[in-house]
Amino acid sequence: MWKDDKTDLEIKILNLKFNHMPDIFIANKKEPDELKRESKRKLIKEEEHSVMLHGKEVLDNTAKHIHSSKLLDDISGKKTTSKKIEKTKISNPPGLLSAFRVNPRGLHYNEQDEDEEILLLLRRHFITNTPWVFLSIILLISPFLIAFVFNLTDISFIFSISSSSLLIYISFYYLIVFAYMFINFITWYYNVSLITNKKLVDICFQDVIYHDVSMTKLNLIESVNYVQSGFFGSFFGFGNVYAETAGKSLRFDFISIPKPERVVNILEDLIGGSSDAE
């Protein structure tokens, strides 16, 4: 019926137009997506700006991105970015050797509240482990050195030791050296100080059989100061931070932590006070 009303030429023209139609439709389909992306980018920028304005400089860029993405999800009602957020959270855990980590992910302490967020993880600077690391290296290589000396001087053992027995002795020796290293490492690793948006937490772990957890609310902190002294402290950038609390004369000491001035600045922002640097 339709073909009867049109000439062949008109039909060809219409066919040509029809062939171009999909391009037009595709272009129309792309536009809203681009607009959405632009609006999302704007929202992210606005949120980042607001984060800066509210004094949350302690949050790093990743945290800002996560926070912004959360806002986007809340606004749009979509959960498209939630997977990305979870991935980012998991991919930013405190490393095994981290001594200073802003906004660490995947970190929790025993009495943490649900709405409590850990802003800063602190440990002693890793360079403070040098003495036991150095001693461990000496202990590790000393059997080889002893064997080398015996070979050079051609001194045989006074008592004859069978090779199987020697293997047991050497294995036991290395297990003890390993235990020495491991205990020193976990002593360093579990001596953690945490700064959250609510509390100051100091976890002290000593001699494998003793640990002490002390915490205080941020609003109870009266003054914060830091001391950075000595050649190593100045060279490697670590020092002690002292936070004094109101009421009972309880003082939180963060010993040999990296970037003490930054820690004091963060604490200042959180408690809204002023610091004294020595």
Partner 1 sequence: MQSEQIILYPFQNPFVFIKIGIVILIFFYVVFSFIIFKRVKIMNNVVEQSQSSFILVLISLINIIFAILLFLTAIVIL
Q: How far is the CB of 178 from partner 1 (least distance, A)?
A: 7
Distance between CA 60 and CA 88 in Å, rounded? 12
CB of 195 to partner 1, least distance (A): 14
Smallest separation, CB 200 to partner 1 (Å): 14
Our CB check for partner 1 shows the closer of 112 and 223 to be 112
User: For the chain, how long is the longest CA-to-CA vector?
Assistant: 119
Least separation in angstroms between CB 224 and partner 1:
22
CB of 204 to partner 1, least distance (A): 11
Q: How far apart are CA 44 and CA 40, in angstroms?
A: 6
Half-sphere exposure of residue 6: CA atoms within 13 angstroms, side-chain side? 11
Would you say 89 and 107 are in contact if contact means Cβ atoms under 8 Å apart? no
C-beta neighbour count of 154 within 10 angstroms: 6
State the number of CA atoms in the 13 A half-sphere of 70 facing the CB.
11
By beta-carbon proximity to partner 1, the closer residue of 66 and 72 is 66
Closest to partner 1 by CB, 148 vs 169, is 169
Name the minimum Å distance from CB 192 to partner 1: 5
Closest to partner 1 by CB, 72 vs 118, is 118
Which residue, 8 or 207, has its beta carbon nearer to partner 1?
207
For residue 87, the minimal CB distance to partner 1 (Å) is 14
Residue owning tokens 């272009």: 27
Which residue lies nearer to partner 1 by CB, 72 or 199?
Answer: 199
Closer by beta carbon to partner 1, 28 or else 163? 163
What does the binding site for partner 1 look like in residue numbers (CB under 8 A)? 90, 93-96, 105-110, 159, 164-165, 167-169, 171-172, 175-176, 178-179, 182-183, 186, 189-190, 192, 194, 203, 205, 208-209, 211, 213
Report the alpha-carbon distance of residue 193 to residue 202 in Å, rounded: 4
Q: Sign of torsion, CA 168 181 107 47?
A: negative
Closest CA to 265 of 229, 226, 227, 238: 226
Q: Residues with Cβ < 8 Å from 203, sequence gap 6 or more?
A: 109, 190, 191, 192, 193, 194, 211, 212, 213
Q: How many CB atoms lie within 10 A of CB 219?
A: 13
